C-alpha cells in the first residue's frame, strides 16, 4: 500500500517507467508494419496504414500519460523519472505484471500482450502491509488505482509539495493531452484520465487502449483468415548492439551498417530523454529557451526517431538468421548529466552532431535506406538547441 | 526609379491538416491525405516539378508574368516567362501554432531565384529556423486567412464557382475510375472522390487567401543585370521587398495559387 510521500514518489516513478516501456513497445510494433515501400497490394497499404496509425495514436496518448506523471512528480517535489531497464524483460522478472516486456514486430502475439497490458481490472485492489511496501500490481491500471488511493489518503503536505513547479500543459501535438494539477482533486482527475484512456470505465471500454488493441487483433485475424498478407516485417525481436546485464536475451545485430544506424537511433533517443528530463524539471532556462527545448524535442521525436525507427526495419539481413533491424531503445547505464542547463544543452548538441555524422557517413556510403529526412530533422533540432543556449 | 518583377502561377505543397500534427506523413484526421501509391507528405512548396501530381489538378508552374520599370510594363523583358524557383525545400512553418497560427505560417527557408537570358534576381534566406519564434521573424508571417477576390477566383477556377469546380473534378475522377483496373489507382481515385464529395472545408479552401509582405535585407540580395534591363545602375542599391498572396487552395490537388512581386526601389 502506498501511504507515505516516499512510496508515492516511488510509485510515480514506476508509473513513468511503465509508460515509457509501453511507448517503446508500441512504437516498435508500429514501425514494423509494412507500407508502400514493401511489395504489398494497394488495399493492404491502406489497411496496414490504418492499423499503424491506431497504434501510433495509442503511443502518443501514452506520451501524454508520461508527461502527466512527470507533472505529478514535480508537484510531489520529485524529479521526472526517465529510467528504464533494457528489453527484453520476461513477465515477472523485473516488473510485477506477468506479461513479457519485449520489442516484437506487429503480430497476433504482440497484440495479445498489448491487450494484457491494458486489460481493465475494476475489482477491489490488492492491499499490502508493511513500510515501505514493495509495489505489487497486475496491470497498468492497477498501479494507477493504488496511486489514486494514496492520493486520496495522504495528507496534503505529503502530496502537494511544490505547487509552483514548472508544469507542462502545452500542446505537443493535436493528439496528445497532458494534465496538470495543483490540488488533490486535480491529481485524482489526472489519474482517472490516464486510467480511462487506457482501459475505459467499468462497462464502457470503447475508445480505450484496451478496446483499440482488441479490435486490431480481431481485424488482423479476419485479414489472415481471408488469406491476407502478413502485415509485420521480419524484424529481429529485441535487437541489440551490445549485451545488457539488465536484460534477458535479445537478438544481436551483426551487420556493421545496421549497428551504426541503430547506434545513431539510440544516441538520439538518449538525447531526447535528457532534454525531456530537463524540460520537466524546474530548470533555470528562460521561457524562450524552454520553448526552444520543446521545439528541439519535438523535432527529435517526429523528424528523427519516428522516421529512423521505420527506416531501420527496412534494413534486411542484419542478424545471423537474416532478420531485419529495428529501433532497440537501448540504455547503457545510469547517466545523469549535471543539472546546469549550460552543460545539458551542450552535451546534447554535441551528441546530436555525432548522430548526424554517422547518418551522413552511412548515406554517403549508400549503406541502407535514405536517411536524408532524418539528417534534416537533426539539423533542425540542432538549430533550436544552439540558437539561444543558456549562459 | 521603382522596378517590379511580377510572378504568378500554381504551386504544390503536400502537407497534413488540422487536427493532424503538422508533419504527419500521410494525413489521418484532417482534410488532406497521401493516398494509395503516393509518397509521404514532405510539406515542401514547389513552384515547378511537382511530386506525384494528381490528375486533373492545375498545372504547377510559377513564372514571371510582367516586369514594370518606372511605372511602365516592359514588353519582351528578358525575365518574362522565367521560372520562379524556391530552393532548399521551403515549408509553411506553423508547427500547429507553436510558431504561427493558421494563415500566418512563414515560408522558411525562403530562397528565391529568378533567372533568364543573363538577368537574375536572388533572395537568400537570412534567418535560421530558431529565429522564427523571435520578433525578428514577425515580418515574415502571413497576415491571416482572408478571402480571395471573386474575380481572381473565377479566373483561376476556369470561370466556375467553387462548387462547380469540384463537381467537374469529381466527374473527371469518376470517369477515370470506370476506365481503371489497377487496384492502386482505383483506391487512390476512390479516396479522392470520397474526400471531394464531403465538400466542407475542401470547398471553402478554394476561397482562402493569405497575404505576405516583407523587406529583404541588403545582405540577402543578389542580382545580375549587365544590360540594365531592370532600369537600375546597381540593382542591389535600392530597397528590396517581397509581396505576394497565396490562396485558392485546391485541397484535392494539394495545390494553391500565388501572385506576387519582387520590388526594387
* Per-domain residue ranges of chain A: 1-233, 234-391
The reply to whether residue B37 touches residue A42, judged by beta carbons under 8 angstroms, is yes
In this prediction, what percent of chain B has a pLDDT beyond 90? Answer: 90
pLDDT value at residue A132? 60
The reply to whether residue B18 touches residue A174, judged by beta carbons under 8 angstroms, is yes
Residue B152 within a domain: no
B261 in contact with A, Cβ within 8 Å = no
Mean pLDDT of all residues in chain B? 95
Residue B16 within a domain: yes
Domain that holds residue B225: 3-145+207-264
CATH of domain A234-391: 1.20.1260.10
Residue B170 within a domain: no
Give the closest of B23, B97, B182 to A302, CB-based.
B23
In this prediction, what percent of chain A has a pLDDT beyond 70? Answer: 95
pLDDT class of A18 with cuts at 50, 70, 90: very high
Between residues 147 and 176 of chain A, which touch chain B (CB distance below 8 Å)? 171, 173-175
Q: How far is A31 from chain B (nearest CA, A)?
A: 13
Give the closest of A41, A171, A383 to B96, CB-based.
A171
Q: Do domains A1-233 and A234-391 have the same CATH topology?
A: yes
pLDDT value at residue B183? 87
Considering only CB atoms, which chain A residues are within 8 Å of B96? 171, 173-174
Mean pLDDT of all residues in chain A? 90
pLDDT value at residue A128? 35
pLDDT value at residue A129? 37
pLDDT value at residue B249? 97
pLDDT class of A207 with cuts at 50, 70, 90: confident
The reply to whether residue B37 touches residue A36, judged by beta carbons under 8 angstroms, is yes
Mean pLDDT, residues A57-80: 92
Secondary structure, 3-state, chain B: CCEEEEEEEEEEECCCCCCCCCCCCCCCCCCCCCCCCCCCCCCEEECCCCCCCCCCCCCEEEEEEEEEECCEECCCCCCCCCEEEECCCCEECCHHHCCCCCCCCCEECCCEEEEECCEEEEECCCCCHHHHHCHHHHHHCCCCEEECCHHHHHHHCCCCCHHHHHHHHHHHHHHHHHHCCCHHHHHHHHHHHHHHHHCCHHHHHHHEEEEEEEEECHHHEEEECCCCCCCCCCCCCCCEEEEEEEEEEECCCCEEEEEEEEEEC
Considering only CB atoms, which chain B residues are within 8 Å of A48? none
- Count structural domains, chain B: 1
pLDDT class of B152 with cuts at 50, 70, 90: very high
Encode pLDDT of B91-148 as tens digits.
Answer: 999 998 889 999 999 999 999 999 999 999 999 999 999 999 888 999 999 999 999 9
Q: Say what the pTM is.
A: 0.87
pLDDT value at residue B243? 98
Mean pLDDT, residues A32-51: 90
The torsion angle over the Cα atoms of residues A373, A374, A375 and A378, rounded to 10 degrees, is 120
Residue B179 within a domain: no
Query: Lowest-confidence range among A28-32, A220-224, B17-21, B142-146?
Result: B17-21
pLDDT value at residue A170? 64
Residue B255 within a domain: yes
Other C-beta atoms lying within 10 Å of the C-beta of residue B191: 15
Considering only CB atoms, which chain B residues are within 8 Å of A292? 130, 133
pLDDT value at residue B160? 95
Mean pLDDT, residues A1-16: 91
pLDDT value at residue A227? 95
B18 in contact with A, Cβ within 8 Å = yes
The reply to whether residue B130 touches residue A292, judged by beta carbons under 8 angstroms, is yes
pLDDT class of A127 with cuts at 50, 70, 90: very low
Q: Chain centroid to CA A129: how far? A: 32
pLDDT value at residue B165? 97
Residue B241 within a domain: yes
pLDDT value at residue A130? 38
B177 in contact with A, Cβ within 8 Å = no
CATH number for A1-233: choose from 3.40.50.10490, 1.20.1260.10, 3.40.640.10, 2.60.40.10: 1.20.1260.10
Encode pLDDT of B43-92 as tens digits.
Answer: 999 999 999 999 999 999 999 999 999 999 999 999 999 999 999 999 99
Residue B165 within a domain: no
Encode pLDDT of A358-384 as tens digits.
Answer: 999 999 998 889 999 999 999 999 999
Considering only CB atoms, which chain A residues are within 8 Å of B181? none
Residue A156 pLDDT more than 50?
yes
The reply to whether residue A174 touches residue B96, judged by beta carbons under 8 angstroms, is yes
B133 in contact with A, Cβ within 8 Å = yes
Amino acid at each position: 500500500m502506498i501511504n507515505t510521500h516516499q512510496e508515492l514518489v516511488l510509485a510515480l516513478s514506476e508509473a513513468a517507467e511503465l509508460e515509457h516501456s509501453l511507448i517503446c513497445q508500441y512504437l516498435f510494433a508500429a514501425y514494423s508494419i509494412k507500407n508502400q515501400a514493401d511489395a504489398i497490394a494497394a488495399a493492404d497499404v491502406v489497411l496496414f496504414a490504418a492499423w499503424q496509425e491506431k497504434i501510433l495514436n495509442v503511443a502518443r496518448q501514452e506520451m501524454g500519460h508520461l508527461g502527466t506523471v512527470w507533472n505529478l512528480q514535480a508537484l510531489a517535489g520529485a524529479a521526472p523519472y526517465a529510467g528504464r531497464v533494457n528489453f527484453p524483460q520476461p513477465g515477472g522478472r523485473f516488473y510485477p505484471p506477468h506479461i513479457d516486456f519485449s520489442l516484437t514486430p506487429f503480430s497476433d502475439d504482440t497484440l495479445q500482450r498489448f491487450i494484457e497490458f491494458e486489460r481493465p481490472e475494476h475489482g477491489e485492489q490488492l492491499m499490502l502491509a508493511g513500510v515501505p511496501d514493495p509495489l505489487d500490481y497486475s496491470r497498468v491500471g492497477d498501479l494507477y488505482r493504488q496511486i489514486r488511493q494514496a492520493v486520496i489518503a495522504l495528507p496534503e503536505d505529503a502530496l502537494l509539495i511544490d505547487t509552483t513547479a514548472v508544469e507542462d500543459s502545452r500542446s505537443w501535438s493535436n493528439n496528445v493531452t497532458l494534465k496538470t494539477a495543483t490540488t488533490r482533486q486535480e491529481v485524482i482527475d489526472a489519474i482517472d484520465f490516464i486510467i480511462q484512456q487506457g482501459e475505459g470505465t467499468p462497462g464502457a471500454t470503447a475508445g480505450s487502449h484496451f478496446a483499440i488493441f482488441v479490435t486490431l487483433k480481431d481485424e488482423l485475424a479476419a485479414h489472415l483468415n481471408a488469406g491476407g498478407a502478413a502485415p509485420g516485417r521480419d524484424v529481429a525481436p529485441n535487437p541489440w548492439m551490445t549485451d545488457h546485464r539488465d536484460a534477458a536475451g535479445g537478438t544481436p545485430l551483426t551487420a556493421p551498417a545496421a549497428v551504426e544506424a541503430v547506434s545513431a537511433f539510440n544516441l538520439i533517443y538518449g538525447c531526447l530523454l535528457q532534454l525531456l528530463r530537463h524540460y520537466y524539471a524546474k530548470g533555470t532556462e528562460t521561457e524562450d529557451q524552454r520553448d526552444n527545448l520543446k521545439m528541439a524535442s519535438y523535432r527529435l521525436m517526429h523528424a528523427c526517431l519516428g522516421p529512423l525507427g521505420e527506416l531501420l526495419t527496412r534494413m534486411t539481413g542484419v542478424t545471423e538468421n537474416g532478420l531485419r533491424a529495428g529501433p532497440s531503445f537501448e540504455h547503457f547505464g545510469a547517466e545523469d548529466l549535471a543539472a546546469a542547463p549550460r552543460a545539458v544543452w551542450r552535451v546534447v548538441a554535441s551528441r546530436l552532431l555525432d548522430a548526424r555524422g554517422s547518418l551522413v557517413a552511412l548515406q554517403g556510403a549508400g549503406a541502407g535506406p535514405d536517411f536524408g529526412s532524418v539528417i534534416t530533422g537533426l539539423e533542425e533540432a540542432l538549430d533550436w538547441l544552439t540558437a539561444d543556449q543558456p549562459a | 526609379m521603382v522596378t517590379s518583377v511580377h510572378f504568378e502561377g500554381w504551386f504544390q505543397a503536400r502537407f497534413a491538416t488540422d487536427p493532424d500534427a503538422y508533419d504527419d506523413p500521410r494525413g489521418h484526421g484532417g482534410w488532406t491525405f497521401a493516398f494509395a501509391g503516393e509518397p509521404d507528405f514532405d510539406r515542401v512548396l514547389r513552384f515547378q516539378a511537382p511530386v506525384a501530381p494528381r490528375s486533373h489538378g492545375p498545372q504547377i508552374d510559377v513564372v514571371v508574368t510582367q516586369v514594370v520599370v518606372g511605372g511602365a510594363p516592359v514588353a519582351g523583358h528578358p525575365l518574362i516567362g522565367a521560372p520562379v524557383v524556391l530552393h532548399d525545400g521551403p515549408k509553411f512553418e506553423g508547427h500547429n501554432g507553436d510558431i504561427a497560427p493558421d494563415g500566418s505560417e512563414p515560408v522558411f527557408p525562403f530562397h528565391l531565384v529568378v533567372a533568364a537570358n543573363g538577368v537574375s534576381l536572388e533572395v537568400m534566406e537570412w534567418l535560421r529556423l530558431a529565429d522564427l519564434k523571435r520578433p525578428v521573424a514577425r515580418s515574415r508571417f502571413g497576415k491571416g486567412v482572408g478571402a480571395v477576390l471573386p474575380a481572381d477566383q473565377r479566373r483561376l477556377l476556369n470561370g466556375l464557382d467553387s462548387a462547380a469546380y469540384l463537381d467537374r473534378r469529381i466527374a473527371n475522377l469518376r470517369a477515370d475510375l470506370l476506365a481503371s483496373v489497377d487496384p492502386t489507382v482505383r483506391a487512390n481515385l476512390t479516396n479522392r472522390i470520397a474526400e471531394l464529395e464531403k465538400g466542407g472545408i475542401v470547398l471553402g479552401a478554394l476561397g482562402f487567401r493569405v497575404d505576405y509582405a516583407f523587406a529583404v535585407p541588403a545582405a540577402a540580395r543578389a542580382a545580375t543585370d549587365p544590360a540594365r534591363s531592370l532600369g537600375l545602375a546597381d540593382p542591389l542599391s535600392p530597397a528590396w521587398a517581397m509581396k505576394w498572396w497565396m490562396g485558392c487552395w485546391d485541397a484535392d490537388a494539394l495545390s494553391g495559387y500565388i501572385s506576387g512581386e519582387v520590388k526594387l526601389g
